[in-house]
Amino acid sequence: MNIWIIYLIITVILLATELLYFRVADKLNIIDKPNQRSSHTHITLRGGGIIFLFGAWLWAAFFGLQYPWFMVGLTLISLVSFADDVHSVPNWARLLVQFSSMFLIFHELGILQWNMWWAVLIAWIVCVGITNAYNFMDGINGITGAYSLAVLLPLIYVNCKTPFVDMPFLIVTGLAVLVFCFFNFRKKAKCFAGDVGGIGMAFILIFAVGKLMVVENDLTYIVFFTLYGVDTVLTICHRIMLHEHLGEAHRKHAYQIMANELKMPHTLISAVYMLMQLAISFGMILLPMKHWVYMCIVFVIFGSAYLLFMRKYYHLHAEYLKSKENENHPTAS
């Protein structure tokens, strides 16, 4: 069968699966209610990102189970994350599955070198951190889907030049993201990715970027996660400086301030994040510059941009918090 016909069949199955999931989620009341960290105001179906797991299963069904340990890890971490979307799962259980699943990725990549146990341990912790950071960044319509495409497209381009992973794996993942974007990348989203989507997609992308790093022996491809990384790390540092509990809900990410305080449309912010990350990634690929030099320049530029943005606009969020505090604790007359 022609491979493009296979892709078409997979797309139709993914679309039908997502529509079927909406009916199930609606019946089982799997919904996302706005809370303190939310940038939306309407109750919306949660867990639409389960389509990413179905996409991986379809890839394995049509093209073969080429990465079995990765698939086991993806299935485990996605199902536990979906369970957390339906009913809260204890933190220790989620972290146990996340660390176990990441161990399976490392086994698939062949990087469990016990004589370098300290490097493996650091990478293990960092990758689990990236997984959760990717999930936490899922706060406005379209951002998870758009940013995922911004990582996948450079990976597909590089894979055309220097094969490092099965190409249909990347393409089918992209098709799953496009189907999700059809329902999420809009003014009023039909569904949100949920933990199953954010965690699952992060797991897929960490595996793909990890394969590229191993084949090219180049860790600087971490630049494919620049915007999420800068926003997450500097927001954490900011919250530590404010003596906040890091486990509490918040709206201090740059994209959240854009959406809430500056009233920018969600889809516009998501598109900007996508285009900037695409520019960063293709700059890494195409510019005649040493990768580590390019990486350092990019981190400095976007780190500085984040600091300048917060210096100019964070006061708006501080005023919002003060107004909420006054609402909750009105001064007695």
Low-confidence ranges of the chain (pLDDT < 50): 332-333
**pLDDT on residue 37:** 53
Q: Which residues contact 12 (CB under 8 A, 6 or more apart)?
A: none
- Exposure on the CB side of residue 75, measured as CA atoms within 13 A: 10
Per-residue exposure over 3-21, b if at least 16 CB sit within 10 Å of its own CB, e if not? eeebbeebbebbbebbeeb
**pLDDT on residue 42:** 60
**pLDDT on residue 188:** 87
**pLDDT on residue 333:** 40
**Residues forming a β-bridge with 4:** none
What is the pTM (predicted TM-score) of this model?
0.92
**pLDDT on residue 246:** 78
**pLDDT on residue 332:** 46
Q: Which residues contact 3 (CB under 8 A, 6 or more apart)?
A: 168
**pLDDT on residue 245:** 83
Q: Which residues contact 21 (CB under 8 A, 6 or more apart)?
A: 47, 48, 50, 51
Rounded-to-integer distance, Cα 151 and Cα 134, Å: 12
Positive or negative torsion for Cα 313, 318, 320, 321: positive
